[in-house]
Amino acid sequence: MFASAFTSTDGEGSDNRYTSLGSGVNNNQGEYSAYTYTFNFAFEGTDAQSILWDFGFNDDDGQPVRSDEWNPGNFTFPAKGTYIVTQIVTNPVGSFVSTLTVIVLGTPEVVFDSNGGSEIEMQLVKAGSNATEPDDPVKEGHTFAGWHSDSEFEEVYDFDTPVSEHMTLYAKWTLSSAGDDRCKFPLIPVILGLFGLILLAGTYFLYKKNTGENKLKRLGYAGVILLVLAFALFMVGVTDLDSVFRLLERGT
């Protein structure tokens, strides 16, 4: 990963078997980031006699973490963050310093936002692997409608998709009448039924007063319609405003 692109010039030292490596920080190689803690480093230069790597952090004793291996592989950083990795190569003529900014993003984290439902544990997923679909969360008065990759619930998440970065999945819910104790009293059917009975009673009263036949028919029909509607709403479980909203949501 660490390419040391040396610029060779003729040296004036006493040992002419080596080319001068120059001096100072000659080779800033930019930055590299990855969703992992473990990296491979490699020397790709020429004319170097020794090498020293400084990985940009200290150990538990406060000492810089270093290596004199030419190609330190499977090197693990202790935490997410930004590290300045320095490579110093030397020969009897001089030295050459290369630096690389390593951004350790860590193992991809899949966070589950249950939107008020039961808590779902975050998953650490190796980059390129799939997250495991958890058990469905639960939320009183609601039915779980799947995990989505956006908070607007426009895209259902596919758990067969390899994970490549940190991500948050969002639980979608729909209202459910099952187990909702607030809907036991049939308020709306009762109100509609009362209005229907009032209209029918008014029809009978006007009939006794010899009111016009057309008015009687309209009132009678309205009363019957309200009674039938009240019975139908009661049978399908539409008993209050919450249940009305649930019915409308199912229709959308």
Model pLDDT for residues 141-173, shown as the tens digit of each residue: 899 999 999 999 999 999 999 999 999 999 999
Mean pLDDT confidence for 171-199: 64
Q: Looking at the structure, tell me whether residues 33 and 100 fall in a common domain.
A: yes
Domain assignment present for residue 94? The answer is yes
Number of domains in the chain: 3
Q: Looking at the structure, tell me whether residues 36 and 94 fall in a common domain.
A: yes
- Among 127, 160, 176, where does a domain finish? 176
Residue 5 has pLDDT above 50, yes or no: no
pLDDT > 90: percent of the chain? 49
pTM (whole model) above 0.75: no
How far is Cα 46 from Cα 202, in angstroms, rounded to an integer? 106
Domain assignment present for residue 215? The answer is yes
Is residue 47 within 8 Å of residue 91, measured between CB atoms?
A: yes
Is residue 151 within 8 Å of residue 204, measured between CB atoms?
A: no
Q: Looking at the structure, tell me whether residues 144 and 82 fall in a common domain.
A: no
How far is Cα 81 from Cα 111, in angstroms, rounded to an integer? 20
Q: Looking at the structure, tell me whether residues 149 and 217 fall in a common domain.
A: no
Predicted pLDDT of residue 126: 93
- Among 159, 176, 193, where does a domain finish? 176
Predicted pLDDT of residue 229: 60
Domain assignment present for residue 10? The answer is no
Range of the domain at 121: 107-176
pLDDT band at 182 (very low <50, low <70, confident <90, very high): very low
How far is Cα 200 from Cα 216, in angstroms, rounded to an integer? 9
Q: Looking at the structure, tell me whether residues 31 and 95 fall in a common domain.
A: yes
Q: Looking at the structure, tell me whether residues 100 and 111 fall in a common domain.
A: no
Domain assignment present for residue 63? The answer is yes
Q: Which residue has the higher pLDDT, 40 or 177?
A: 40
Q: Looking at the structure, tell me whether residues 189 and 244 fall in a common domain.
A: yes
Least confident window among 21-25, 84-88, 105-109? 21-25
Residue 175 has pLDDT above 50, yes or no: yes
**CATH number (domain holding residue 43):** 2.60.40.10
Q: Looking at the structure, tell me whether residues 49 and 94 fall in a common domain.
A: yes
Domain assignment present for residue 96? The answer is yes
